[in-house]
A and B are shown apart, each in its own frame.
Chain A
Amino acid sequence: MVSRKALVPAAFVACLLPLAWLGGRYLRDDLGANPISELENRLGFYALSMLLLSLACTPAQLVFKWKWPLLLRKLFGDYAFFYACLHLSTYVGIDQFFDWREIGKDVVKRKFITVGMATWVLLLPLAVTSTQGWQKRLGFRKWKRLHRLTYVAGVTALVHFIWRFKTLNTQTSIYASILVLLLTVRIVFWLRRRKEPNRK
């Protein structure tokens, strides 16, 4: 078991492992026949996974009464943005090679790209305000309301992921189920709390 003190640093390092693994495959020229596509897809997949992990922290606390997942929420959220930035950079700088006209057309015309770009835009203010300083500056209520955008980002990220494939397959179905489960837990607890008589 990792002690509470070591938990966040350990998770910080662990979240870099997928990137290290991908970097290793790149250096070994082991990214397959279409390395650009592989790089882009893997980075996007890590971003989505981190986002789902950050969305899983509160439900885990609610259901199992654990406190430690809350220590990791910010870290996972920041990493979701980190991988989303790498994913977006790969798309812009490698896949499209800074062809801004094509990128513009993609963003406007292709709902698959539109929804992906929207996810990054949604994550941006969340990453910026993820610090305690910003929490104080905005006031906890406002901050909390703003950070509900994470749910929206979770949904748009998932839709982006699903639309990348030609069909709904095993992988996308599993990720969709996870998100539905996480959102359901929130809704159930929210409804329960509303029923409590002595709450405003």
Chain B
Amino acid sequence: MKITPKDLYLQRRRFLQLGAAGAVGLLARGAAAAKGAVHGEKLAGVKPMSKFDTTEKKTPFEDITSYNNFYEFGTDKEDPAANAHKLVTKPWVISVEGEVKKPRKYDFDELVKMFPIEERVYRMRCVEAWSMVIPWDGFPLADLIRKLEPTSRAKYVAFETVVQPENMPGVKGFSGIGFPYLEGLRLDEAMNPLTLLATGLYGEALPKQDGAPLRLVTPWKYGFKGIKSIVKIKFQETQPATTWSQYGGGTEYGFYANVNPDVDHPRWSQGRERRIGEFLKRKTLPFNGYGDQVASMYAGMDLKKFF
């Protein structure tokens, strides 16, 4: 699926029009068009249209690939797009460890051939109160987990991002968090049909700033749960330590990090969000609008406590 430039610029920057600069906005198109991100390899045989797809307007490829949080490449939103090209993704080995029948290492190319790739158009809500609509390509994490056959002791899945200090300026620099980046899910969350291991977006191999070659997507949770450039998947009995739940002694965010308009960030409201490309903020929905698919997993839990 390719979005046309015309679409892109008509949608982009309603900001300009509201700024009573429509005419200048027209002139501006040429300049902005030059700033496209590098496109990845086309993915073959992607199954379109899942029942979970949102029909909302997709965020342009250029925005999804130029406005990222990937602290290994710097703390500014523009840093990953500028620096992630240094990441070495070939070869790529994913180590499966812990409470599974056969712990072993998988080559990415081997792993990705095991499952049909499907498109999932999901909302993505960042903890920083902005959001996007992203057409991911990938396979359900549940499919992989079934193949790996976790033992009865597996209650959680822990994930780890690659660390390549020589290629990651943020790892050597001062970003405030520790590396490797760690994330985790409860096993039932990992098995939820919404949970995706993404290998692409817009039908093309995942750009490095978005977490190539393999990243997690959990659309009912804040974006930071979607750990990028995964090299380790570990099944375990205890709740794994995660980067942001450890930061500042756990003051920033908890393990679950479900999108919740009623639980504010320590410094800003989570009640509303700005959809990238829109002028006015919109109301944030509980579980980012995916309550029907996920709310039952948290029945009886106080989500203000387990935030």
Residues of chain A having any CB pair with chain B under 8 Å: 26-30, 32-37, 96-97, 102, 105-106, 109-113, 163, 165-171, 173
Contact = CB atoms under 8 A, between A and B. Distances in A.
B267 interface: yes
Interface string B53-80: 0000000001100110001000101100
**7 nearest A-B residue pairs (beta carbon):** A167-B176, A33-B67, A29-B28, A33-B63, A112-B267, A169-B75, A28-B31
B267 A110 contact: yes
A170 B173 contact: yes
B75 A29 contact: no
B77 A29 contact: no
Given A111-B267, A166-B252, A32 B29 contact: no
B276 A167 contact: no
B115 interface: no
Interface of B: 12-13, 15-16, 19, 21, 24-25, 27-29, 31-32, 35, 62-63, 66-67, 71, 75, 77-78, 127-128, 130, 173-177, 247, 252, 264, 267-269, 272, 274, 276-277, 279-281
A32 B77 contact: yes
Contacts of B21: 26-27
B63 A27 contact: no
Contacts of B128: 166
A105 B274 contact: no
B74 to A, nearest CB: 9
A105 B268 contact: no
A34 B268 contact: no
A72 to B, nearest CB: 30
B265 to A, nearest CB: 9
A105 B269 contact: yes
Identify the interface centre among A26, A105, A167: most chain B CB within 10 Å of its CB.
A167
